[in-house]
Amino acid sequence: MNKKKLNIFRKKIDKIDQKILILIKRRTKVVNHMLSLKKYRNQIVDHRRINKILKSIKKKSVKNGIDSRITKRIWKEMIWAYVDYQRRRFGKK
């Protein structure tokens, strides 16, 4: 194993991760605005929209040569993490 090359790639991943964190912060702000528009707790989960998003991500993944199992898993986790986030914050808005 070439440790020097491995460390170079790890630094690249660290830079990408930093960009992802910035995008998550921006996404969270949008989610907060959306939450402020929801009057009822049952408006938090829209299964039809979730399925549509996951199908779209699969198509885009295949088109871009990305393993769709990876992207589906990431998006599912992100969606449900934000559902949990909204549920926790719903009564506090």
Tens digit of each residue's pLDDT (9 = 90 or more) over 20-47: 999 999 999 999 999 999 999 999 999 9
Question: For residue 93, what pLDDT is reported?
Answer: 54
Pick the CATH number of 3-90 from 2.60.40.420, 3.30.450.80, 3.40.50.12280, 1.20.59.10: 1.20.59.10
Question: For residue 1, what pLDDT is reported?
Answer: 75
* Domains of the chain, residue spans: 3-90
Question: For residue 9, what pLDDT is reported?
Answer: 97
**pLDDT band with cut points at 50, 70 and 90 for residue 91:** confident
Alpha helices, DSSP H only, in the chain? 3-37, 47-63, 68-90
| Backbone φ, ψ for residue 83 (5° rounding) | -60, -50
pLDDT exceeds 60 at position 86: yes
pLDDT in tens, 46-76: 999 999 999 999 999 999 999 999 999 999 9
CA dihedral sign, ordered 93, 83, 28, 38: negative
Find the helix packing angle between 3-37 and 68-90, rounded to 10°.
40
